[in-house]
Structure 1
Amino acid sequence: MRISLNWLRELVDISMTPEALAEKLTMAGFEVEDIEDRRTWADGVVVGKVLTREQHPNADRLSLCTVDIGAESPSQIVCGAANVRADIFVAVATLGTYLPNVDLKIKPAKLRGVESKGMICSLSELGLTKESEGIHIFDETVTGALTPGMDVRPLLGLDDAILDLTSTANRADALSMVGIAREVAALTGATLRLPEPSVPESQKTKSVSIKISDAQACPAYIGTLIENVKIAPSPLWLQRRLLASGVRSINNIVDITNYIMLEWGQPLHAFDFDSLVKVAGTDQIEMGVRFARSGELVKTLDGQDRTLQEQALLITVNDKPTMLAGVFGGEETEVSDSTQHVFLEAAIFDSAAIRKSGRSQGLRTEASARYERGVNWAGLETAARRAVQLILELAGGTITAQETVDTRQGSLTRSISLRLERVREVLGMVELGDDVGELQAKDVEHTLTALGCELKSTGSETWNVTVPPYRYRDLEREIDLIEEIARLYGYNNFSDTLPAKTEPGYLSIEQLISRKVREAFRGMGLTELIHYSLGKPGEERQIVLANPLFTEYSALRTDLINGLIEAFQYNLEQGNGALNGFEIGHVFTQEEDLIEAEAIAGILGGDQSQGKWVRGGKDQPMTWFEAKGILESVFDRVGLPVEFQPDRRDPRLHPGRTASLWVRGDRLGTFGQLHPQLRQERGLPDEVYVFQLDLEVIIRHLETDEAMVPVFKSFSTYPASDRDIAFYASREVGVSDLERTIVKAGGKLLESVELFDEYKGDRVPEGQRSLAFRLVYRADDRTLKDEDVDPVHQKVREALVEKFRVELRS
């Protein structure tokens, strides 16, 4: 947005230099990328009156002029412009003047043997236009009385400075002079002077109907018919303001619509009413707003015939397309020099609808940029009245019809609760002269009131803040108000020193445990893997994205195992061998609400050994017990007592080689071998194992003081006493259940239990298996004797018989 300082000073009472204003705006979040100081473009250029014009004696295309520039005597200037003549007022660059736009310093010179002292300038040489057909001639009827020697800068709008300002996407109000004026007033405390257009008089002798097909796409539409207007060039003040803002002047009607867009941020469009009648084929006009039908055509102002898609939003007359609503006007109904009657459109269009409509044609204009950010819904009537007022002043005419369709619902203001305690908590300390202190309630009230908010106290240091309509879109929560307080109070006024007492950083319990578990898996030779949290859709309770970038990444993953299987397969296909790895990441499921959890998963398989020549070059697959041993070693390393129970719930895993993992009654996860069918489909080795653990369960059982603080326990210096026990047990009984019973019955003297033999086959009762355990007994204070061990061992035997009905063999 290009901000004219002269225009801004008409809206807000400021006397700051361009540099000081740019600094204040930048500190408030509006980056000023450039300052275009137009005062330097014509420093030394004055008004001159051409007294005489004669033909150059040595050149056919040059003129010899005497020009009164307010000096003691007229200057002789050689001019090459065809439109120079006597008795006109022109812009003259005097000797010593530097023109930066053409990089020229005016010096005395001889042109074809004739001395020339100065240069009569065109607008292009002064930087106001890119090209000029001749020198600029002042019109006294427009500029007023002229005196030779006057500074031309006020006459040409060159006594101005332009700030090239960039605003953030949430500040739609900053795309207007009124919005910037409000901001400057809030920052400086200056008086705001916004134009207040009156309701124009009208003679409603005609009627124009309006039909809105989609109220969400167009919540409000004001159509005004003004007859008997006079199309002419805009007055100089209007042309200069448009030029300063980077907008080309066309004619008074079009220039007014552009002017209102720049002033209020509300795009408008003017139609030639007679052209609307011609397109409609009748003088009974119905203006409409609807989405295009696929294949419809409209010819835009750039002369292109555009084939429309269904997301294009149109303005129609009697259902015939005339233009792309809020984006680009139509050529058939544009205002031209022959226009006599004008239909002025002022409307609000939905941001998303305009964005999709513009993208469907690859178009983005000044108007669509404002609609996409969101115009001020409460300012529509003001902008429409202001535009009508200017049209009546500059082009004449009479209002003969006006129609409004308004489906805006609800209040355009919002109330937000604000706590001073929260403001201080977020923003911290501020500098108060040489001291440092907290923001006071009066500072908060003064800052928000300057922004146009209304504050009502609701208790001790709390307020109910009513947001003005023009900030309705970006001030939605308490934190937004706090940001505004910081921005206007000044980021540079907040304390940048650290507190006197600092606290060293530390890791949380959760972080410590996660690192400990991660190190344990790495210590067992597993590689840590990282995958996207998005994957393919098709699973139960899966959350699918509404607008994915790729189909392969269109749903949130429900577990980590699928990604690990694909990684294992990819490594094999690339010739990298088997992959032993693990991953820690988030998984997501859809119940009544979205459930997010953190999990650990891993994959094991393939032959990792070197020197396979001893086996004839053949791979030796990892066994169940080797894979289970790796997992158990990790559990032992972190101090997690885990039990394995048979499980068949996961169809991806072998039904007879899958276990659920439990910690003190809490389900930890699953461990098992991949199902043979899945292994064959993926071309994987004979035996591949996967596991997935719930990290929250691990943290819950390891965050206790007993688990986190290691306790030293010395080795016993006394010898151990071994006992073996063998028995027949039902195949339905798990070894973990047997071990738990043995440990409980063995008490403090039992140091360890180890299964060392299992047999199934001949001479074993049907449905049973033979198991043999080695029990090690040891005391810390003495050498155990038989009379110490035998009663305990007998108690173990009796517990097994009583609970599991085992048949003892030894």
Structure 2
Amino acid sequence: MRVSISWLKELVDFDLSPEGLAEALTMAGFEVEEIEERRTWADGVVVGRVLERQPHPNAEKLSLCTVDIGTATPSTIVCGAANVCADIYVPVATVGTYLPKVDLKIKPRQLRGVPSEGMICSLAELGLAKDSEGIHIFQQEALTPGQDARPLLGLDDSILDLTSTANRADALSMVGIAREVAAITGNPLKLPPSQSLAGIAQSSPVAIELTDAKACPIYIGTVMEQIQIGPSPDWLKQRLAAAGTRSISNVVDITNYVLLEWGQPLHAFDLDQLQAAAGAPLTVGVRLAQSAEKLCTLDGQDRQLTPQTLLITANDRPVALAGVMGGEETEVHDQTQTVFLEAAYFDAAAIRRSARSQGLRTEASARYERGVNPAELTLACDRALQLLQELAGATIVGQAEDRTEVGRITPTRTLDLRLSRVNQILGPTVESNAAGTAALDRDTVEALLTKLGCETKPVGSAAATVWQVTVPPYRYRDLEREIDLIEEIARLYGYDRFANTLPAQTARGFLSPEAALSQQLRAAFRGAGLTEVLHYSLTKPAEGDQRETQVVLANPLFAEYSALRSDLLSGLIDAYQYNLEQGNGPLNAFEIGHVFSMAEGELVETEKVAGIVGGDSRRGRWVSGAQPLTWYEAKGLLEEVCDRLNLTVDYRPDSAVPRLHPGRTAGLWVRGRLRLGTFGQLHPELRQQRGLPDEIYLFELDWSVLKTCCLAQYSGQMVRFQPYSPYPAADRDLAFFAPVEIAVADLQKLMLKTGGKLLETVTLFDQYRGQNVPESQRSLAFRLVYRSPDRTLTDSDIEPVHQKIRAALEKAYPVSLRS
């Protein structure tokens, strides 16, 4: 919000410089992004009176002006504006003046052979307008040539560009900032003059009807006649310009002025247009829109309304977006004579949903979204009516008001505050004489709370001071707990006035088991040669059956990002294709992220681990011969990661994933009953569509299962070191015919279990199907490695175990041993 220092000084007295005020507000929790010194825009610009205007002898579009600028001799100034004439008062930039907005320094010079001493300025040259058709002409009376022009232009001011936190809705108004400055300085607050209009006739030609008690608890509508539409006075235009608001007409400017002053949005309807659009008698209401309804707003946009859009209606016909923007059909224009002024309190959540449904954010909606003060609604309305009477000649005909049960209740809150808790949280303060430290006392806390507008009532004994603190209505949405009051005390007292203290007890920080596992997993993938990638959770909508379970946004910013991703593989495939197209070669990558889906109407969010590997990493290098990654090599990369996590995984045939090769896909299982995920080769059809190489392999793991399996084995246990055996190993080969449907993993598991401690590893080194092999069977050859940690094994040690394994295989499976 842009805060005018001169306007602020009318609401609270202070002698701080703009820099000092910015520092004080910053220490109080506000961010001052910029100090705009408007005095420098026209330093050296004075009031001049044009005594005589003559045509330029050498140029048709130039004028030769004699101007009195308060010096002994009038100045001769060449001017190119069409509206210059004799006997007018104008702003004149004297010789030596620098105009920063147009980066121009005024020097004596010759213009078409005629000397010119100075420049008659337009508002654009002074930084007060983007474009100007001619020079500015002062309308004020009793001006003195040579006087400083800045007070007449509103440039004797400084502007603070101030940002408040989202919880400080009261800070989006000049009165709110004035309250803050009054609390900082201790000076009294001077609220804007407001004439009580309690005697307004309650009989109004317009009726009010509220049907949604939560969305709009209070609505005040005032009918005025004999409105004289015209330009606003200079002081009003200048204050709006300082706040960054364009002047339109006196009626519209007054509603914007009260918005800036009190933080209460108002809206003025042309009553004649309102009745012409809806008919008479007229009833104004507030309701949610229907899907088929449309409305053309003040910005000229035809808007398709949604059930989340809150509307102002006239006889149930939409005429405005409630709390956001008015309708073009009922706007105030140059011929307006009767006005219906709206002053309402809308629910913050309702306006937030409504504005987002239209992709629209205005000054009004920004304040309603944070929450306006319903207790000051009538005060702001009376202030606007007073200005309309003074500046637009309005005659008030009547006023109608409707309040629901919620609107009749003034929001109040009483909190208990303990002095002991204040000092426990904030600690000791640093005394001004640096003689030592002391805690905040009772009187200081009460004084600070009073500055905030709170009412304090001590309860209990003086030794254990406790207050019942009543929060003012304008801080109702902000001060909700005891800790909020403690924060306000620290903020006003000054954070720098508290002593530096360290915690009495400290402890080393540590990672949670889940975070440590995540780091270990990432390190394992990097060690296997994979690069971590990140993708947006938002993606484009899916097609076909997947769309039914995909989470689609109701109001997306872009069509390409209008749904939440349901898997990680799509993003990895896109990244792989993009890298190839950019000439970067194949991409071996992994990603850890959240995926989303809909199940029985409920949003389900899970975390997945996925990766993609494949292609020939040596392509384009000096080595010759393509060596693409095989299925077993890709499987080995994943097994390497699992080994680093001490996780044993079984691979079982699977064909449930459509984008993976039906004959080269395996389900990953842990302990035979927990499904960890899927690993497989990219489906040939998808590969051809994308123009990708054959050797691309993908995997997707369930993080919750991975976490359960990895953390369970370390629960309450220390990792024990197991030394390597210094004794040599002895190996034996075992070959047999086995049915194709028997998994190699099951055979290996049985052999390891039967072999006991002596059997170190079981490795498949040969597989053959063809001549001399029975139909529907295959020849498998395993190498079994035996080793003891304390001795060299002999044949007498190995042979009984080896025969036991042979017997176990023949008993468990229909195999035919060959060796």
TM-score by length of 1: 0.71
1:626 aligns with 2:633: yes
CA distance in 2, matches of 1:605, 1:251: 69
Name the counterpart of 2:16.
Answer: 16
CA distance in 1, matches of 2:175, 2:636: 73
Larger Rg: 1
Gaps of 5+ in 2: 54-62, 78-83, 107-119
Distance 1:797 1:612, change over 3 A: farther
CA distance in 2, matches of 1:175, 1:734: 70
1:796 aligns with 2:805: yes
- Equivalent residues in 2 for 1:395-794 (5 A)? 399-406=396-403, 409=406, 413=411, 450-452=451-453, 468-471=472-475, 487-490=491-494, 492=496, 510=514, 513-526=517-530, 528-535=532-539, 536-537=541-542, 539=546, 541-569=549-577, 579-591=587-599, 592-605=602-615, 622-665=629-672, 666-686=674-694, 688-702=696-710, 711=721, 713-717=723-727, 719-760=728-769, 768-794=777-803
Name the counterpart of 1:108.
Answer: none
CA distance in 2, matches of 1:76, 1:18: 38
RMSD (Å) for aligned C-alpha atoms: 6.2
Superimposed CA distance per residue, residues 637-666 of structure 1 (whole angstroms, 9 cap, x where no aligned partner): 554333323334333334443322233454
**1:99–1:125 Cα contact (<8 Å) kept:** no
Name the counterpart of 1:223.
Answer: 221
Superimposed CA distance per residue, residues 479-529 of structure 1 (whole angstroms, 9 cap, x where no aligned partner): 977876665454555778988999887766555554554454444454554
**2:203–2:398 Cα contact (<8 Å) kept:** yes
TM-score by length of 2: 0.70
Residue 566 (structure 1) shift: 4.0
CA distance in 1, matches of 2:2, 2:746: 79
Distance 1:432 1:775, change over 3 A: farther
Name the counterpart of 1:383.
Answer: 380
CA distance in 2, matches of 1:157, 1:612: 75
Structure 2 residue identity aligned to 1:175: L
CA distance in 2, matches of 1:22, 1:645: 68
**1:673–1:689 Cα contact (<8 Å) kept:** yes
Distance 1:556 1:194, change over 3 A: same
Distance 1:373 1:741, change over 3 A: closer
Superimposed CA distance per residue, residues 699-737 of structure 1 (whole angstroms, 9 cap, x where no aligned partner): 5555566999573523433x4444444444444432222
Distance 1:357 1:77, change over 3 A: farther
Name the counterpart of 2:30.
Answer: 29
CA distance in 1, matches of 2:421, 2:739: 66
Secondary structure at the aligned position of 2:572 is classed as helix
1:138 aligns with 2:147: no
**1:669–1:691 Cα contact (<8 Å) kept:** yes
**2:41–2:126 Cα contact (<8 Å) kept:** no
Residue 190 (structure 1) shift: 3.2
Structure 2 residue identity aligned to 1:178: V
Superimposed CA distance per residue, residues 543-598 of structure 1 (whole angstroms, 9 cap, x where no aligned partner): 33333344444333333333334444555666766554444444334445532214
Structure 1 residue identity aligned to 2:680: G
Using the TM superposition, name which of 378-387 and 488-497 deviates more. 488-497
**1:13–1:190 Cα contact (<8 Å) kept:** yes
CA distance in 1, matches of 2:510, 2:10: 57
Distance 1:447 1:578, change over 3 A: same
1:167 aligns with 2:177: no
**1:271–1:334 Cα contact (<8 Å) kept:** yes
**1:198–1:385 Cα contact (<8 Å) kept:** yes
Structure 1 residue identity aligned to 2:764: L
Q: 2:263 aligns with which of 256, 262, 265?
A: 265
Distance 1:211 1:672, change over 3 A: same
Residue 599 (structure 1) shift: 0.7
Distance 1:760 1:278, change over 3 A: closer
Distance 1:556 1:208, change over 3 A: closer
Superimposed CA distance per residue, residues 287-319 of structure 1 (whole angstroms, 9 cap, x where no aligned partner): 677879988779x7xxx9x47444499878778
CA distance in 2, matches of 1:124, 1:565: 55
Secondary structure at the aligned position of 2:807 is classed as helix
Gaps of 5+ in 1: 70-74, 106-119, 140-147
CA distance in 2, matches of 1:657, 1:104: 78
Distance 1:99 1:638, change over 3 A: closer
Superimposed CA distance per residue, residues 17-59 of structure 1 (whole angstroms, 9 cap, x where no aligned partner): 444223212333141622547699899999x9xxxx999xxxx
Superimposed CA distance per residue, residues 97-136 of structure 1 (whole angstroms, 9 cap, x where no aligned partner): 999999999xxxxxxxxxxxxxx99999999999554685
CA distance in 2, matches of 1:428, 1:724: 76
Distance 1:256 1:556, change over 3 A: closer
Distance 1:550 1:533, change over 3 A: same
Distance 1:45 1:748, change over 3 A: closer
Distance 1:492 1:183, change over 3 A: same
**1:351–1:373 Cα contact (<8 Å) kept:** no
Structure 2 residue identity aligned to 1:177: M
Superimposed CA distance per residue, residues 446-484 of structure 1 (whole angstroms, 9 cap, x where no aligned partner): 766644467899999999987654345666899977876
Name the counterpart of 1:181.
Answer: 178
Structure 1 residue identity aligned to 2:668: L
- Equivalent residues in 2 for 1:172-251 (5 A)? 172-195=169-192, 197-203=195-201, 207-210=205-208, 220-226=218-224
**1:25–1:32 Cα contact (<8 Å) kept:** no
Structure 2 residue identity aligned to 1:793: H
Distance 1:676 1:791, change over 3 A: same
Secondary structure at the aligned position of 2:757 is classed as helix
Distance 1:212 1:768, change over 3 A: same
Aligned-residue identity in percent: 50
| Number of positions where the alignment pairs a residue of Structure 1 with one of Structure 2 | 761
CA distance in 2, matches of 1:269, 1:389: 15
Using the TM superposition, name which of 191-200 and 731-740 deviates more. 191-200
Distance 1:296 1:809, change over 3 A: closer
CA distance in 2, matches of 1:760, 1:281: 86
CA distance in 2, matches of 1:744, 1:672: 28
CA distance in 1, matches of 2:739, 2:125: 104
**1:204–1:400 Cα contact (<8 Å) kept:** no
CA distance in 1, matches of 2:584, 2:26: 55
